[in-house]
């Protein structure tokens, strides 16, 4: 069998999450590829940020003191959009949070391939990490692209964008900082609008797809299925 260096070539099994823990992501049980594992071994110490429970919050300005802007991307997936945006805008620093190890390895592979210096990764569940993981007002922008819509009604409690998590996002943004959300599931877009109407920390709404957000293979697959993609810009008030 021909060996591939494509980091996205993963196989998966059907693992279930712990029933006593409300997760906003699926435990895919994906098997990491040699290319992804190799990237973690070579680059993990340099590009993956770690923090013990007793450590002080990470100050992003200390990591990227000369960057014009600092961006947090929540759920970077396989890193396709992250790497493309980092390469297109080297003056912007990106911290990507991803819970799945294959995604971490894939993004590291892309970092190495493109010679990127303006990306760092946190391998963690964002809901567990965000509150104490970063100092407040660390970011000019937060990006959440295509979060799991959890389509079934009984799973709506697992949706990321709801409740106390929205005000928490605001604490990590500078004043008038941008929260950019994209989804290809129309009912979830309606849900997002309704949730943001309940809070006072943000103002904004639907926008046309911005040119700087790359069209990934994931989004292209959704468009072929006639999914309606919606972008939102919400600004911290």
- CA triple 186-192-194, angle to 5 deg: 110
In CATH, which superfamily holds the domain spanning 34-236? Answer: Vaccinia Virus protein VP39 (3.40.50.150)
Residue 32's pLDDT band (cuts 50, 70, 90): very high
pTM equals 0.86
How many angstroms separate the Cα of 174 from the Cα of each of 35, 93, 105, 235?
A: 37, 15, 30, 10
CA 10 from chain centre, in angstroms, equals: 19
Instruction: Say what the pLDDT of residue 19 is.
Output: 34
pLDDT in tens, 141-168: 999 999 999 888 887 998 999 999 999 9
Report the distance separating Cα 36 and Cα 171, nearest Å.
Answer: 33
Q: Percent of the chain, pLDDT > 70? A: 87
Instruction: Say what the pLDDT of residue 24 is.
Output: 54
Asked if residue 11 has pLDDT above 50, the reply is no
Report the distance separating Cα 150 and Cα 38, nearest Å.
Answer: 32
Asked if residue 23 has pLDDT above 70, the reply is no
Choose among 97, 196, 105: nearest CA to 139.
Answer: 97
pLDDT in tens, 70-112: 999 999 999 999 999 999 999 999 999 999 999 999 999 999 9
pLDDT in tens, 109-136: 999 999 999 999 999 999 999 999 999 9
Report the distance separating Cα 224 and Cα 214, nearest Å.
Answer: 16
Would you call 114 helix, strand, or coil by DSSP? helix
Instruction: Say what the pLDDT of residue 8 is.
Output: 47
Asked if residue 189 has pLDDT above 50, the reply is yes
User: Known catalytic residues?
Assistant: 148
User: Residue 190, Cβ neighbours under 10 Å: how many?
Assistant: 12
Q: Is residue 63 within 8 Å of 132, Cβ to Cβ?
A: no
Instruction: Using the structure block, give the residue that is written with the tokens 């014009």.
Output: 68
Choose among 192, 218, 221, 187: nearest CA to 205.
Answer: 192
Asked if residue 2 has pLDDT above 60, the reply is no
Report the distance separating Cα 172 and Cα 48, nearest Å.
Answer: 20
Mean pLDDT for 1-12 is 41
Q: Percent of the chain, pLDDT > 90? A: 75
Choose among 236, 91, 92, 96: nearest CA to 177.
Answer: 236
Long-range contacts of 218-221 (CB under 8 A, 24+ apart): 218/77, 218/80, 218/146, 219/146, 219/184
Instruction: Using the structure block, give the residue that is written with the tokens 């961006």.
Output: 71
**Domain ranges for the chain:** 34-236
Higher-pLDDT residue of 28, 237: 237
Residue 201's pLDDT band (cuts 50, 70, 90): very high
Instruction: Say what the pLDDT of residue 79 is.
Output: 96
Mean pLDDT of all residues in the chain?
88
Asked if residue 28 has pLDDT above 90, the reply is no
């Amino acid at each position: 069998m021909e060996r591939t260096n494509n980091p996205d070539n993963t196989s998966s099994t059907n693992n279930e999450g712990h029933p006593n823990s409300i997760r906003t992501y699926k435990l895919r049980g994906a098997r990491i590829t040699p290319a992804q594992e190799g990237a973690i071994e070579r680059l993990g110490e340099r590009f993956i940020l770690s923090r013990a429970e007793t450590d002080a919050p990470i100050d992003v300005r200390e990591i990227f003191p000369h960057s014009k802007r600092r961006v947090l991307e929540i759920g970077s997936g396989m890193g396709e959009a992250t790497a493309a945006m980092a390469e297109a805008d080297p003056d912007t620093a990106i911290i990507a949070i991803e819970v799945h190890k294959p995604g971490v390895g894939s993004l590291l592979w892309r970092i190495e391939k493109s010679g990127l210096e303006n990306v760092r990764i946190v391998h963690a569940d964002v809901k567990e990490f965000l509150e104490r993981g970063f100092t407040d007002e660390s970011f000019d922008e937060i990006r959440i692209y295509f979060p799991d819509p959890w389509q079934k009604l009984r799973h709506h409690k697992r949706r990321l964008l709801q409740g106390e998590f929205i005000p928490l996002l605001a604490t990590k943004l500078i004043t008038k900082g941008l929260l950019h959300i994209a989804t290809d599931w129309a009912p979830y877009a309606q849900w997002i609008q309704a949730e943001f109407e309940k809070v006072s920390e943000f103002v904004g709404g639907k926008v046309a797809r911005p040119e700087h957000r790359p069209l990934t293979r994931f989004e292209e697959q959704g468009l072929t299925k006639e999914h309606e993609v919606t972008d939102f810009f919400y600004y911290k008030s």
